[in-house]
Amino acid sequence: MLSNTRLAAFLAVATLSLMPVAKSAAAPQQDRVDVYVVYESMPDETERARTAALGARILWESDSEPVRRLSIPASSLVAVQRGTGVLRVSVESEQDLPAPAP
């Protein structure tokens, strides 16, 4: 059984963990998604520039396979999928991935 002091400490921590965290007005964060992008061939500088313009940050890149892990704004998912030579874009949960537009 918890002592009154431990119970009070537990309730204080639990309450703090449920409080919303205020975002900084100076630097609003877009919702970002980590994705794996599989290409037909190794991505070139044009593809790097295209994904960078979409707000992507490269988290990992294979030296031997045409695959990269990117952190992108959620609003850029469809644009990343439509890239020339993109075979597949996978997110942590496939249900979060919008269907490609025709």
Contacts of 68 (CB under 8 A, 6+ apart): 36, 37, 39, 43, 58, 60, 61, 62
pLDDT digits (tens, 9 = 90+) for 85-100: 999 999 866 555 556 6
Q: What's the CA gap between 75 and 84, in Å, rounded?
A: 18
Contacts of 63 (CB under 8 A, 6+ apart): none
pTM, two decimal places: 0.62
As a 3-state breakdown, the chain gives helix, strand, coil percent values, each rounded to 5, of 35, 25, 40
Domains and CATH numbers, the chain: 30-96 (3.30.70.80)
Give the pLDDT confidence score for residue 18 in this predicted structure.
Answer: 43
pLDDT digits (tens, 9 = 90+) for 1-49: 545 555 444 444 444 444 444 444 444 556 999 999 999 999 999 999 9
Give the pLDDT confidence score for residue 102 in this predicted structure.
Answer: 61
pLDDT digits (tens, 9 = 90+) for 50-66: 999 999 999 999 999 99
